[in-house]
Amino acid sequence: MIPTVQCPKCNKEEAMDKVLTAHSNQNVLYKCPHCAYSKRQIQTSKG
Ligand SMILES: [Zn+2]
């Protein structure tokens, strides 16, 4: 199962694989395909 992330702007949920791009171990970029909102190092429920 792929966990989902909720956009803080438009509140739509997308699969983490689609909205999160890992540039390195500690640098994750979130980008919402619905409203184009983007943010670095968004919190995940991991760990
Ligand atoms: Zn959004």
Distance 29 CA to ligand 1 centre (A): 14
Residue 19 sits at φ, ψ, to 5 deg, of: -105, -20
**pLDDT score for 43:** 57
pLDDT (tens digit per residue) in 4-13: 999 999 999 9
**CA angle (37, 40, 46) in 5-degree steps:** 105
Question: Which residues have CB less than 5 Å away from ligand 1 (the ion)?
Answer: 7, 9-10, 32, 34-35, 37
**pLDDT score for 11:** 97
**pLDDT score for 13:** 95
Shortest CA distance to 20 belongs to which of 32, 9, 29?
29
Q: Has this prediction a pTM greater than 0.75? A: no
pLDDT (tens digit per residue) in 7-46: 999 999 999 989 988 877 677 888 999 999 998 865 556 6
**pLDDT score for 42:** 53
